[in-house]
Amino acid sequence: MTTIDPSSRRAFLLASAGALTGAAWTATSAPAHERTTAGAANGSRRGRHRVGAVAYGYQYSIGLFSYKDRPGERFDAVRFVEANHAAGGEVAQLYFSMISDLDEEGLARLRRRAEELDVLLEVHGGGALGKPAGFEDTMQRAARLGCKVVGCTFGMLMRPRKIATLEAWDEHTRACESRLRQLAPSAKSLGLTIGIENHLDFTVEELRDLVRRVDSPNVGVMFDVGNTLGTLDDPLEAADILGPYTVATHYKDFAITETPSGFTFCMVPLGCGSLQLPEITRRLLKHVRPEMGMSIEMMNGQHFEVNWLEEGFWGPFRHKTAAQVAATLRHIRGKEIDRREYKLVEEIDRLAHEEHVRFEQARMTGCIAYLKDILDQARNPA
């Protein structure tokens, strides 16, 4: 296997170490504000894409998902934007629950603070097949924040756990298409584009074909560079197939371990896992617009299994070729995992409150620096 690029590892570790320097870090510190604002301006002059965080990277600090009942102070939406900015972020992707209870004054305050920091706002609206008015309300709020993109999903790890036959999968796909046709006119009227995340559900060809059938300039893809592996899609080919439709991203890295039943995935900092991120990025940059933000999803230590070698896994799939599976295997076997950064969520959860908050900030700082470095190298190859 190839080794990890030492310059990329060094960029990540140096940035992470800088974020951990001093226990008294605050999201609104003046030095960080000045430093990251200057970086954003320099990035604009280079023409580099904006880089920043998905709120999930601060799920402990915010109190999302499994941390919704944890004790201690939490980040609100404004403080998330500030923490992301202090980490070097120029785009911030909010989760819908962070804005669902904000009144007009709260939305205006959040938008104003993002504009002061020159941070582009996006919103991930979660599942689009739920309560009929839920996603529409998220779109309304996103528009008032000045967002241009709202992400959505239509499930996770759907096959074969929740959908076991092709007939059931086709029915699900029709429901997704119908919902998108319903949402597209609202998105147009609000000046938004819906980005459908490949969420370990659709293969890249299926998602491309879904977007083509809906055939709306207000429906595109939120390209998750790592989730492609969960449907046995080659991440390099995925960047070329979904790139023309991509309006936002979830950048991540998975440390993939092969098992007798398939794969175990563990989310690790960018550059420390199995994904060949520099080459994925070079492919993606051929297709996307320069104003698109590149948001990083860093759910520290999250892990799960995709048991693609088990009997029944392929029942609800069609047209998956041996050549595609082989390309996926070549990808994950071609890069060494940095075991020093391999930490399961169960280990991370043993951190004390303030230490956990600092840990999230340090990792996001390193990931943002790493992705900026990749983008700079892609634009100015040696």
**Geometric angle at alpha carbon 67, from 79 and 258, rounded to 5°:** 110
Q: In what order do the strands lie in the sheet with 253-259?
A: 253-259, 262-268, 303-306
Q: In this structure, how many other beta carbons lie within 10 angstroms of the beta carbon of residue 365?
A: 28
Evaluate if residue 235 carries a pLDDT over 70.
yes
Q: How far apart are CA 130 and CA 134, in angstroms?
A: 7
Q: CA–CA separation, 357 vs 27, rounded Å? A: 11
Examine the pLDDT at 14 and tell me if it is beyond 80. no
Q: Is residue 184 a part of any domain in this protein?
A: yes
- Per-residue buried b or exposed e for 62-98, using 16+ beta carbons within 10 Å of the residue's own CB: bbbeebeeeeeebbbbbbbbbbbbbbbbbbbbbbbbb
pTM of the model: 0.90
Q: How confident is the model at residue 83 (pLDDT cuts 50, 70, 90)?
A: very high
CA distances 97 to 123, 131, 138, 168, Å, are 10, 14, 9, 30
Per-residue pLDDT of 179-233, as tens digits, reads: 999 999 999 999 999 999 999 999 999 999 999 999 999 999 999 999 999 999 9
Q: What is the mean pLDDT of residues 143-167?
A: 96
Give the separation between CA 62 and CA 83, rounded to whole angstroms: 11
Phi, psi dihedral angles at 353 (to 5 degrees): -50, -60
Q: How many CB atoms lie within 10 A of CB 24?
A: 5
- Identify the pLDDT of residue 380: 83
State the pLDDT at residue 34: 35
> CA-CA distance, 58 to 295, in Å (whole number)?
13
Helix (H) or strand (E) holding 20, with range, is helix 6-20
Give the confidence band of 379 by pLDDT, cuts at 50, 70, 90.
confident
Strands 253-259 and 246-250, by their bridges, are unpaired
* pLDDT single digits (tens) 38-72: 333 344 444 799 999 999 999 999 999 999 999 99
CA separation for the pair 104, 112 (Å, rounded): 12
pLDDT recorded at residue 29: 37
Give the DSSP per-residue string, 185-253: HHHHHHT-EEEEE--SSS-HHHHHHHHHHH--TTEEEEEETTGGGGGT--HHHHHHHHGGGEEEEEB-E
Q: What is the CATH number of the domain that holds 113?
A: 3.20.20.150
Query: How many structural domains is the chain composed of?
Result: 1
Q: Which of 1-5, 230-234, 354-358 has the lowest mean pLDDT?
A: 1-5
Which residues in 268-302 are b (16+ Cβ under 10 Å) and which e?
Answer: bbbbbbbbbbbbbbbbbbebbeeebbbbbbbbbbb
Residue range 332-352: average pLDDT? 97
CA distance 50 to 375: 10
Here the tokens at position 216 are: 């709306």
Residue 83 in any domain: the answer is yes
Query: pLDDT per residue over 183-198, tens digit each?
Result: 999 999 999 999 999 9
Across-strand partners of 294? 51
Mean pLDDT on 113-120: 98
- Please provide the distance, in angstroms rounded to a whole number, between the alpha carbons at the two ends of the chain: 24
Residue 12's pLDDT band (cuts 50, 70, 90): low
- What distance in Å separates the CA atoms of residue 222 and residue 288, rounded to the nearest whole number? 11
Checking if the pLDDT of 272 tops 90, the result is yes
pLDDT at 133 over 90: no
| Residues β-bridged to residue 265 | 256, 304
With 0-12 / 13-18 / 19 or more C-beta atoms within 10 angstroms meaning exposed / middle / buried, residue 31 is exposed
Which range marks the domain in which residue 192 is found? Answer: 6-19+27-379
Residue 213 lies in a domain: yes
Give the tens place of pLDDT for each residue, 289-304.
999 999 999 999 999 9
Task: Tell whether 1 is covered by a domain.
Answer: no
What percent of the chain has a predicted confidence (pLDDT) above 90? 85
Q: What are the strands of the beta sheet with 120-127, ordered from one edge?
A: 246-250, 219-224, 193-197, 149-153, 120-127, 91-95, 51-54, 294-296
- pLDDT for residue 23: 35
Residue 5 confidence (pLDDT): 53
